[in-house]
Structure 1
Amino acid sequence: MAQRAAIVTGASSGIGLAIAQVLGEEGFGLTVAARRPEKLEEAARGLTDQGFDVEVVAAALGDEEGVKAVVAAHRERYGRLDLLVNNAGVGIGSPVGEIETKKLDMQLDVNLRSIILFYRETVDLLRAAGAQDGAMVVNTASISAKRGQPWMSVYSATKGAVVNFTEAMHKELSQDGIKSTALCPGWVATPMTEFIQDQIPAEQMITPADIGETMRWLLRLSPACIIPEIQFIRPGD
């Protein structure tokens, strides 16, 4: 059994999978979660083939029951939680006069509501780890949290809320040994950014591995050092 355990959402590709890769290399037991079962299983096979300890939970992470299912599976397998990575997210562009309520709610639920629910459902496990060797929560926001983007207004708003909620959790939980960090990447070469890659080639974008390697650094910081927010930008941006 792994000595440390982590939950990573949105782990079927891109940033989430890159983070899971680093955490597996660092010896964490992993619960990986995402919405699409086939894609998640394929990603998980790539992790288990390297000898990593992996629990797979396909769930709709914008739904309360989906969040509870992920946490329950993790709790049953590992019984502890040292690191929670809230990475699942969705971005849907639209001019403000054409925002569809269904797509508005989807972004609110996945990008923000799920993070709040994951904190709520895991805070006992995080406090237990925090009282021993320390615990950490990493929330994927976006550079658009810092500078709202037209046509991506809802996405920008949810990611701004993620940064603010992360700061609130730092103030509320850091004395319990629980660090909270928001990641604010610009354009990252993932399936989520394929729509813009005719204008910004993938080879000119930040890589998922850039974000993943940040986890290795965060894990090595002393308990006295908390990084509340990290921005990742491309040259000239």
Structure 2
Amino acid sequence: MAQRAAIVTGASSGIGLAIARMLGEEGYGITLAARRPEKLAAAAQELREAGYDVQDVAGPLSEEDAVKAVVAAHEQRYGRLDVLVNNAGVGIGAAVADIETKRLDMQLDVNLRAPILFYRECARLLRAAGSEHRNALVVNTSSISGKRGQAWLSIYSATKAAVIGFTEAMNKELNADGIKSTALCPAFVDTAMTDFVKGHVQPSDMIRPEDISEAVRMLLKLSPACIVPEIIFARAGEDL
């Protein structure tokens, strides 16, 4: 059994898969979670073929029972949790007068409610890891739009700003238990989520998923005394 273990949500592609691959390289046992079973299973198989210890648990992470199922499956297999990566997210653009309630609720549920539920369900395991080595880590994928709201992405921006605020609150609440939290705030990353803008911004000019995973690798190696509340990833040439 792996000496350290992690849960990664939104792990079937993009940033989540890159972080999961890095955790595998670092020797973590990993539970991968995402909504689409076939896509998640393919990602898990790719990591297994690379020699990493992974399991995949598919489900709609906007639902409480799905969150509980991921955490229960993780504990049953690995018995511990050192790193939680709340990466699953959805962004749906609309002018404020055209916001559909269903799409509003989807973004609130996936981007904000699910991370909160994962904290709640994982608190006991994270505290156990924090008690052991004082370096349990929660990584929350926010966005540069959580730092400065974007027109037509108002709900997405609001949820990502809330993630930053919740991360700050969790550091104040949980750090005494040896648990750190970091919000990742990237500009456009070359993933499927940014396909809508690739007619205006070339993929080669975007941040790479591996840029994000390497930042998380750095967080794993910091001393217990060092907390990084957030990391902003700006694209070259953008205003900072």
TM-score in terms of structure 2 length = 0.98
Q: Deviations over 1:209-233 (max 9, x none)?
A: 0001111111110000000000001
Task: Give the residue type in structure 2 aligned to 1:80.
Answer: R
State how far apart, in whole Å, the 2-side matches of 1:189 and 1:112 are: 23
State how far apart, in whole Å, the 2-side matches of 1:25 and 1:235 are: 28
Q: Which runs of 5+ in 1 are unaligned?
A: none
State how far apart, in whole Å, the 2-side matches of 1:189 and 1:197 are: 9
Tell me by how many angstroms 1:55 deviates: 1.1
Give runs of aligned pairs for residues 14-163 of structure 1, distance below 5 A: 14-133=14-133, 134-163=135-164
Task: Give the residue type in structure 2 aligned to 1:4.
Answer: R
Paired residue secondary structure (1:75): helix
State how far apart, in whole Å, the 2-side matches of 1:2 and 1:79 are: 10
Q: Deviations over 1:191-226 (max 9, x none)?
A: 000010010011110000000111111111000000
TM-score in terms of structure 1 length = 0.99
State how far apart, in whole Å, the 2-side matches of 1:23 and 1:235 are: 27
Q: 2:198 is matched with which residue?
A: 197
Q: What is the aligned length?
A: 237
Tell me by how many angstroms 1:165 deviates: 0.1
Paired residue secondary structure (1:132): helix
Task: Give the residue type in structure 2 aligned to 1:185.
Answer: P
State how far apart, in whole Å, the 2-side matches of 1:97 and 1:205 are: 30
Q: 1:221 is matched with which residue?
A: 222
Q: Which stretch shows the higher mean deviation, 214-223 or 10-19?
A: 214-223
Tell me by how many angstroms 1:36 deviates: 0.4
State how far apart, in whole Å, the 1-side matches of 2:49 and 2:68 are: 27
Paired residue secondary structure (1:227): coil
State how far apart, in whole Å, the 1-side matches of 2:236 and 2:22 are: 25
Q: 1:166 is matched with which residue?
A: 167
Tell me by how many angstroms 1:39 deviates: 0.5
Task: Give the residue type in structure 2 aligned to 1:112.
Answer: L
CA RMSD in angstroms comes to 0.5
User: Segments of 4+ in structure 1 off by > 3 A?
Assistant: none
Paired residue secondary structure (1:189): coil
Give runs of aligned pairs for residues 2-17 of structure 1, distance below 5 A: 2-17=2-17
Q: Deviations over 1:1-42 (max 9, x none)?
A: 100000000000000000000000000000000000111011
Tell me by how many angstroms 1:236 deviates: 2.1
State how far apart, in whole Å, the 1-side matches of 2:195 and 2:230 are: 26
State how far apart, in whole Å, the 2-side matches of 1:143 and 1:195 are: 17
Paired residue secondary structure (1:131): helix
